[in-house]
């Protein structure tokens, strides 16, 4: 019987066909007829082999039908059939790892346990590999984005972050779907029992199980084990998401802080420019082609020049200290207005006085 | 009996009436009386045909009464009645797709399975079509909004994003409601049994089912299948929502980064302007109509001009390097104040010295 | 017996008392004694009439005691008593709508179904009316706030948005509480049975129900119907909340974009001012009262003036193109510094050269 | 027996000891031995009196052991023992309110109902008082922070908001823990039965209960009542949290709007300053000590001055209208560059022309 | 038998081996063979000792196998074996605390209760210690970051906050996993029974338990106790997360407020500079080498100078009051434009008039 199936596999085309009778690699993409034959042989319905969901795990008529993303497989009591396996990057794993693993006889557990364990382990490994790929990139990118010295976020790093953040979301969804499909089996004791294929067919095993080790309990432990591993991966992914959110807040605070510091410097310089403009106006006034009484006074030049520089220096200093006080206390900014008005008046009066 | 119902359909008005006896298209909007007649014929209550919820799926008195948004239908063991079907864009699907599908005899399953599958598939397809419509628009818009080169977000694209984001929310609600209505049926085994209409009426089928294939299990698989498909759509919609949120953060960081870069440039130029103003004041001072001792010194012009340009260049350079150091270290900005004060003093003393 | 109760109602004071014996409007706010009497008559405990929760629905001793916000009522098999109904704006609904609805005999269902349906319908209508009031205001406000042309958000509209957003939160809580109180009844089959008052008292009905229509199932359908309507209202409210959040993000991006555009314009003008200041310094230098060799050269004026204007124009142009390149590429802003330094050197050397 | 316990209480130290035998106030903080004695007397284990959780409610060996934050109590069929009651601000409530409440005989329910009701009511009142304290402060603070007129958020108010927001979080946790401890009892019917202490010890009551009023159902109603009250408090706290979030968004939009308005004003003034600088350069040019042909032309002064003022006014006006158009349409800011270049060219050509 | 096991432990290498026969410290990292021996001795499967999950707690074949992060242990009825205990910082606790605790005979409970309590208490203490380490650092950092006086967030503190926020997330995950593993045991009564090792092996204890104290109930209390403690830690961690979020909002509002205040000051100074430029142009005009009629008028200098200073002062004042009004009302900023235009016209006309 197993032999026939291998023939099925061979006659489809030049597929990779290992000689381990426990693992059948079948390619249905060419002939729909073969699919129907397989259904009849296993007493399955056509719908059972449609694999409409990206992650599913069901027991049907003493077979376990499962799909883990690209991997579609039917697991019977004696063999594992992998369907449509080509072009998915799975060949290497199938031939070099899965086949020897299934062939090894060290396990004391029935075949379906070994096959299921190998597939679930592969799935969890794939998820873990994806997380391991995304995690360091995200951590590095965040590390460099959060650096308080940088004034503006590096855009190429933002792009990298966004890409990896998207991958992380997809990974989270995949983990969730894997967990859900496991949970659906684990939630009902009957379904778990159905997964123990050997128990129902081999009377000898059935008796044994009633004495010592319980198959259903073993199957539950096996599934729970991978459920927990997926749970831990999910936790890591969630933590990573949280770290991205926290880091983004810190990036925003950093950028805002930089802006505030620059704005303060800018304001201080604007104050300086204002002071220079104010007292520069005196110079402009004396530069007019109009008659003043000081044209010939040799001290006048130094007096007026000194007044200009010292005056602007003093006003600037006052403005700076006003700014310092203003930002520390929470006085409403209305005060500024009156302050500058008194300033104006002082200057005017001082001007009048000098007249 | 079936025939009579077709007559009911015909006598209402010029409705589209296919000749497949399995599918009845009935329009109640004109005559309330017909509705009551139908209720009596099917032993339903008036309330059952009110269709108050946008998505519902219930079994009542050996009928399945369902509503999927616009589509209102009653499914009996032998026929599917679609009510108030006009003006909803469903005619094409009803006549060209649903009717042949129901008429085909290839299926080995009873009529109610085929009809339910067709309707649920149509619903899932509609949801998927809506997601497929919204998804590429959102991805494109985000792609162009996230582009780090742009200084300000394109407002028309923001509008497009907001519209599609709203559609996505509505789609998520619809998916959730579809899933809830499926779950309500799936959660109770009795309800699933009630959905197997043929099982309860056809004694032959009932016997069969006790032997081989179980109707209730088939129905559960069928409903679960569409539940899972809706689940996957929901996952995709949720991922898309997450991507919009992540992208918005990146857009904000981009805009903030641009602003910081511009503010730094602005600050550097303000520093230059301040240096020019400061040393320009010397020029203004020498331009005053006041007597200095240098009027006739031919070297004085070049000395003072050189001092102005070189001095402002040097001060600018110092301010720039101060800014560079200031932004990298986290020294409090108070230093600036003392720095500028020493600057003032240097200038003053240097001025005094030159006197 | 019913008559006596009406008398109770009348003797309390000048309350509105309809003559339909099915609906009793009772006002307890004046005399506590009457409350105790009513308790004894219905064999209820004092605590049952305290109505401590804003939304509750319980069956007690063959009575349904319910409170829906302002409406407090006791529903027995034969009559509906509305307590403390005054000053709540319910009079109109009670007299004009509820009373005729209860009196109508078209329904085939027992009295408690009709009364419960009327009250729950009223509650759902109230919730829907509140949502219908809030929804268009929020949509309009968001529409005008999201408008990309506006530079700053209209504050009065923000206030309107905040008020309605608050109302929406309250509405969401009310819907949730209504759903919870329905769910508490629906979750236990016994409670649903207790709600069918007639079933337990009228032996004739009880027998009937064992044959044909099941009272408990009818009651479950009735309650589920209103639960689902509340669910749909809750979905709409949740979508609206999501829309507000999305719109706020868009408003922020809009405001930030506007700011970036204005900052770029500002920076471009600052560049122009800087160029003018730089070359204006040449003019200021020639304006000093110092001896140059060019005083009498008639071409000197045009040469220097032309150099000033053309030079500042060229420098501005270079700065603008530098800005354009700088913002597009992600070069670190350090380049600016060296750029300006070379600029200074060029100017200086050019000055020296002209000497 | 009760008397002995009062003695225990007295001999510990100068504790407040009321003479109502139903309420015992015991202070264990001094002697560990007394605790062991009490355990033995009530047949409890030492661990039962450790009160490790801040909120707990359990039945153990015909006692109800409860802790509500500071209040630790053991409730037997005949008396309520409050442990370690000192220094917690509970004395007033214990002596003035709880004692008379327990002593009053108006209740028809057994002692443990009255005591439990009093304690739970006290707990809910405490929670409500905390919410009532926090709510108006938060509402007031938000009201003043959201005020669109203010330019910058008042920092002292932000501090108040943060403090109260923290209190609100703590309150939410306490409400959740109270609800959880109630729910743990309510979820299992057995536990509720264990809470009816009298039912199990007093045979007379047990018989009664089998006839009329059911103790367990009364207990369930009592606990559910306080659960619902806590639920309503939780809803109010959640709404308040939502309002804080919404208000923060509005505050951000307000601050951003103000900034945009100020930036527009700043940009308009910068445009004015630029225009003045540009045409001021003409004045500076004519101020140079170089020979022009116009020195003696009496009209030249007015022509040049008029050109300066009018020119700068016109350019400013053009820039302002350019800004207006620029911000309304979504033209990319590149246009600005070409615009200013043509401006430069116009000025240059116009200059050349005037030569 | 116990002795042999100690030998196993000793012969592995120079491990710390206490002489209390109740606690075995075993190091498997060197020899895989020993692991298999142990499995056989305890009738466990190899898989049971793989400890694949960071937190697990299971009963298998009358042993409790648990892992709490670094601590891997097998608990039998008579002894506690700690596996691979080296290099984890646990030696101190194992030798100095756990060993005496297990050896003490004061407890009346069986050995497995004492051992389990010691380990769970250690785990909860570890979690609490981690929270106690993180909490004050976060509170301090937030306290100093929220300080309204600071203009820009201290970057080193942000870094500290981010690190601790990450630790908090990890702690939350660990607490959640601990709670989940406890809950998995508590959810099924059978599993709790399996944990009572003594009950199943010691017939004397079994009889006792059927009379007085119930082992399973004691075990449930014990586990529930630690579950509740973890729950409280989880609540505290969640509150802390909420506080970080709230504080970040306040930091943003603070930074934005500071920026608005600085921008207002900047705008006020820009207004001043603009006024000075505008009236400085008059000075520049009079400084031109062109003929005016006022060269020799001695009052002209003072008149023009006074007009310059007073005019710029007045214009500044008007602009400031315009700004004040503009920011308070929500007038659209378009008014500014017309305002400045009338200003220009006034100046021009006033200029013309003076001609």
The pLDDT score that the predictor gives to residue C336 is 44
- The tens digit of pLDDT for each residue in E105-118 reads 665 678 888 889 88
Q: Burial letters for B159-170: b for 16+ Cβ neighbours within 10 Å, e otherwise?
A: bbbbebbbbbbb
- The shortest CB-CB distance from A155 to any of C287, C330, C333 is to C330
Paired strand residues for B55: B68
Query: Beta strand pairing status for C71-75 and B63-68?
Result: unpaired
DSSP E strands: which ranges in E128-284? none
D333 to B151: CB separation less than 8 angstroms, yes or no: yes
CA distances to C246, E45, E48 from E36, rounded to whole Å, are 60, 9, 11
- The tens digit of pLDDT for each residue in E254-301 reads 899 889 989 999 999 999 999 999 999 999 989 888 888 888 888 888
* Average pLDDT of span E122-147: 93
Select from D107, D146, D223, D281 the residue whose CB has the most chain C CBs within 10 Å, as the one to mutate to test that interface. Answer: D281
The pLDDT score that the predictor gives to residue E60 is 83
What DSSP character marks residue C82?
Answer: E
- The shortest CB-CB distance from A333 to any of D151, D155, D287 is to D151
Residue length, chain B?
Answer: 355
The pLDDT score that the predictor gives to residue D31 is 57
Could you tell me the pTM of the whole model?
Answer: 0.84
- CA-based nearest residue to D256, from C254, A252, B161: C254
What DSSP character marks residue D67?
Answer: E
Between chain A and chain C, the number of residue pairs with CB atoms below 8 A apart is 6
The pLDDT score that the predictor gives to residue A27 is 61
Query: Beta strand pairing status for C80-83 and C71-75?
Result: antiparallel
The pLDDT score that the predictor gives to residue B22 is 62
The pLDDT score that the predictor gives to residue D201 is 66
E330 to C151: CB separation less than 8 angstroms, yes or no: no
Between chain B and chain D, the number of residue pairs with CB atoms below 8 A apart is 6
Name the least confident of B130-139, B204-213, C51-60, D187-196: B204-213
Neighbours of chain E (3+ CB pairs under 8 A): A, B, C, D
Interface of C with E (CB under 8 A): 151-152, 154-156, 287
Over 90: is that where the pLDDT of B290 sits? no
The pLDDT score that the predictor gives to residue B181 is 93
% residues pLDDT > 70 (chain C): 76
Over 60: is that where the pLDDT of B11 sits? no
Q: Which residues of E touch C154 (CB under 8 A)?
A: 330
B72 dihedral zone (left: phi>0; alpha: psi -120 to 50; beta): beta
Q: Which residues of A touch E255 (CB under 8 A)?
A: 253, 256-257, 260
Name the least confident of B9-13, C32-36, D81-85: B9-13
Whether the CB-CB separation of E156 and B330 falls below 8 Å is answered with yes
Over 70: is that where the pLDDT of A213 sits? no
The pLDDT score that the predictor gives to residue E179 is 94
Chain D: residue whose CA lies nearest to C149: D328
Name the least confident of C316-320, D332-336, E178-182: D332-336
Judged by DSSP in three states, A266 sits in helix
The pLDDT score that the predictor gives to residue E111 is 82
CA B196 centroid distance within chain = 38
- CA-based nearest residue to D283, from D306, D315, D305: D305
* Average pLDDT of span A123-130: 94
CA distances to B60, B332, C184, D9, E74 from C188, rounded to whole Å, are 21, 66, 7, 47, 44
- The shortest CB-CB distance from D297 to any of E260, E291, E334 is to E291
- The tens digit of pLDDT for each residue in D260-277 reads 989 999 999 999 999 999
Chain D: give the shortest CA distance to residue C215, in Å: 25
DSSP letters, B107-120, are: --S-HHHHHHHHHH
Q: What is the CA radius of gyration of chain C?
A: 40
Over 60: is that where the pLDDT of D30 sits? no
Residue in the structure block whose two tokens are 């103790």: D215
Neighbours of chain A (3+ CB pairs under 8 A): B, C, D, E
Over 50: is that where the pLDDT of D259 sits? yes
Mean pLDDT of chain D: 79
DSSP E strands: which ranges in chain A? 23-26, 55-60, 63-68, 71-75, 80-83
Higher pLDDT, B6 or A90: A90
Name the least confident of A69-78, B37-46, B129-138, B197-206: B197-206
The pLDDT score that the predictor gives to residue D101 is 77
* Average pLDDT of span A56-66: 88
* Average pLDDT of span D333-354: 48
Chain E: give the shortest CA distance to residue C248, in Å: 15
- The tens digit of pLDDT for each residue in A226-283 reads 999 999 999 999 999 999 999 999 999 989 988 998 999 999 999 999 999 999 999 9
- The tens digit of pLDDT for each residue in A214-237 reads 778 888 888 999 999 999 999 999
Q: List, for chain C, all residue ranges whose pLDDT scores fall below the cut of 50.
A: 1-21, 30, 211, 330-338, 344-346, 348, 350-353, 355
Select from A330, A331, A332, A335 the residue whose CB has the most chain D CBs within 10 Å, as the one to mutate to test that interface. Answer: A330
The pLDDT score that the predictor gives to residue A141 is 93
Higher pLDDT, B346 or B12: B346
The pLDDT score that the predictor gives to residue E291 is 82
The pLDDT score that the predictor gives to residue E123 is 93
Name the least confident of B75-84, B185-194, C126-135, C254-263: B75-84
Angle between helices A298-328 and B215-287 (to 10 degrees): 160
Most confident of C156-160, E40-44, E80-84: C156-160
Q: Where are the alpha helices (DSSP H) in chain D?
A: 2-12, 32-42, 91-92, 99-103, 111-146, 155-187, 189-195, 197-201, 203-211, 215-287, 298-328, 334-354
CATH number of D1-106: 2.40.128
Over 60: is that where the pLDDT of E230 sits? yes
Judged by DSSP in three states, A277 sits in helix
Over 50: is that where the pLDDT of A1 sits? no
Task: Give the H/E segment covering residue C60.
Answer: strand C55-60
Chain A: give the shortest CA distance to residue D166, in Å: 19
Chain B: residue whose CA lies nearest to E152: B332
Over 90: is that where the pLDDT of B25 sits? no
Mean pLDDT of chain E: 79
E151 to B287: CB separation less than 8 angstroms, yes or no: no
The pLDDT score that the predictor gives to residue C275 is 93
CA distances to A248, B144, D72, D112, E167 from A162, rounded to whole Å, are 12, 13, 53, 61, 24
- The shortest CB-CB distance from A156 to any of C287, C330, C333 is to C330
Query: Beta strand pairing status for E23-26 and D80-83?
Result: unpaired
Cα dihedral E214, E216, E218, E223 in deg (nearest 10) = -170
Sign of torsion, CA D8 D9 D10 D12?
positive
% residues pLDDT > 90 (chain E): 32
Chain C: give the shortest CA distance to residue B234, in Å: 15
CA geometry: angle at B185 spanning B179 and B190, to 5°?
165
Rounded to whole angstroms, the Cα distance separating A320 from A318 reads: 5
Residue in the structure block whose two tokens are 């004396």: A286
The pLDDT score that the predictor gives to residue E23 is 66
How sure is the predictor about B1, in pLDDT bands with cuts at 50, 70 and 90? very low
Residue in the structure block whose two tokens are 């008020």: C163
ipTM (interface predicted TM) = 0.78
Q: Which residues of C touch D340 (CB under 8 A)?
A: 268, 272, 316, 320
Whether the CB-CB separation of A161 and A141 falls below 8 Å is answered with yes
How sure is the predictor about A103, in pLDDT bands with cuts at 50, 70 and 90? confident
Whether the CB-CB separation of C200 and C206 falls below 8 Å is answered with yes
Rounded to whole angstroms, the Cα distance separating A312 from A343 reads: 12
E151 to B333: CB separation less than 8 angstroms, yes or no: yes
Select from C43, C141, C153, C299 the residue whose CB has the most chain D CBs within 10 Å, as the one to mutate to test that interface. Answer: C153
**Rounded to the nearest 5°, which phi and psi values hold at E68?**
-125, 95
Give the strand order in the sheet containing D55-60.
Answer: D23-26, D80-83, D71-75, D63-68, D55-60
- The tens digit of pLDDT for each residue in A2-39 reads 323 333 333 333 344 444 446 666 665 545 667 777 78
Over 80: is that where the pLDDT of E202 sits? no
Higher pLDDT, D325 or C353: D325
Over 50: is that where the pLDDT of B40 sits? yes
Mean pLDDT of chain B: 79
E333 to C287: CB separation less than 8 angstroms, yes or no: no
What DSSP character marks residue B98?
Answer: I
Query: How is chain A split into domains, by residue range?
Result: 1-106
Over 60: is that where the pLDDT of B208 sits? no
The pLDDT score that the predictor gives to residue D204 is 62
- CA-based nearest residue to D71, from D48, D91, D99: D91
Q: Which residues of C touch B324 (CB under 8 A)?
A: 334, 337
Q: Which residues of D touch A333 (CB under 8 A)?
A: 151-152
Over 70: is that where the pLDDT of A204 sits? no
Name the least confident of A89-98, C195-204, E142-151: C195-204
What DSSP character marks residue E21?
Answer: T
- The shortest CB-CB distance from E261 to any of A278, A287, A333 is to A333
- CA-based nearest residue to D337, from C174, C272, E79, E303: C272
Query: Beta strand pairing status for B80-83 and B23-26?
Result: parallel
Q: Which residues of C touch B288 (CB under 8 A)?
A: 289
The pLDDT score that the predictor gives to residue C203 is 61
How sure is the predictor about A98, in pLDDT bands with cuts at 50, 70 and 90? confident
E277 to D273: CB separation less than 8 angstroms, yes or no: yes
% residues pLDDT > 70 (chain B): 76
A151 to C333: CB separation less than 8 angstroms, yes or no: yes
Whether the CB-CB separation of E44 and E61 falls below 8 Å is answered with yes
The pLDDT score that the predictor gives to residue C267 is 93
Query: Beta strand pairing status for A71-75 and E63-68?
Result: unpaired
The pLDDT score that the predictor gives to residue E91 is 74
How sure is the predictor about B108, in pLDDT bands with cuts at 50, 70 and 90? low
E155 to B333: CB separation less than 8 angstroms, yes or no: no
The pLDDT score that the predictor gives to residue E106 is 61
Q: Which residues of C touch D243 (CB under 8 A)?
A: 166, 169
Whether the CB-CB separation of C206 and C71 falls below 8 Å is answered with no
What DSSP character marks residue B49?
Answer: G
Higher pLDDT, A107 or B309: B309
How sure is the predictor about A336, in pLDDT bands with cuts at 50, 70 and 90? very low
Over 70: is that where the pLDDT of B105 sits? no
Between chain C and chain D, the number of residue pairs with CB atoms below 8 A apart is 184
């Amino acid at each position: 019987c197993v032999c026939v199936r291998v023939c099925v596999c061979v006659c489809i085309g030049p597929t990779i066909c290992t000689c381990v009778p426990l693992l059948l690699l079948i390619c249905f993409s060419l002939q729909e007829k073969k699919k129907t034959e397989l259904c009849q042989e296993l007493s399955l319905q056509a719908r059972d082999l449609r694999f409409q969901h990206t992650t599913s795990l069901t027991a049907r008529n003493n077979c376990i039908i499962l799909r883990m993303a690209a991997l579609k497989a039917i697991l019977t009591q004696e063999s594992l059939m992998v369907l449509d396996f080509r072009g998915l990057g799975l060949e290497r794993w199938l031939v070099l790892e899965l086949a020897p693993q299934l062939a090894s006889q060290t396990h004391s557990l029935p075949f379906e346990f070994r096959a299921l364990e190998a597939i679930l382990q592969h799935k969890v490994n794939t998820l873990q590999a994806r997380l391991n790929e995304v995690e360091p990139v995200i951590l590095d990118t965040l590390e460099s984005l959060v650096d308080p010295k940088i004034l503006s976020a590096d855009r190429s790093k933002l792009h990298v972050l966004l890409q990896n953040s998207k991958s992380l979301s997809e990974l989270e969804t995949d983990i969730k779907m894997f967990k859900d499909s496991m949970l659906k089996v684990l939630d009902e004791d009957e379904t778990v029992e159905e997964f123990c294929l050997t128990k129902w067919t081999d009377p000898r095993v059935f008796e044994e199980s009633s004495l010592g080790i319980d198959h259903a309990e073993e199957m539950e432990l096996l599934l729970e084990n991978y459920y927990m591993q997926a749970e831990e991966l999910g936790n890591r992914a969630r933590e990573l998401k949280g770290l991205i959110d926290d880091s983004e807040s810190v990036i925003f605070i950093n950028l805002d802080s930089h802006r505030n510091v620059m704005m303060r410097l800018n304001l201080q310089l604007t104050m300086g420019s204002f002071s220079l403009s104010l007292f520069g106006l005196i110079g402009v006034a004396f530069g007019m082609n109009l008659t003043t009484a000081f044209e010939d006074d040799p001290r006048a030049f130094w007096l007026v020049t000194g007044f200009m520089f010292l005056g602007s220096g003093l006003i600037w200093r006052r403005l700076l200290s006003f700014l310092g006080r203003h930002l520390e206390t929470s006085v409403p900014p209305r005060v500024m207005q009156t302050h500058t008005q008194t300033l104006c008046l002082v200057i005017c009066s001082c001007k009048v006085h000098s007249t």
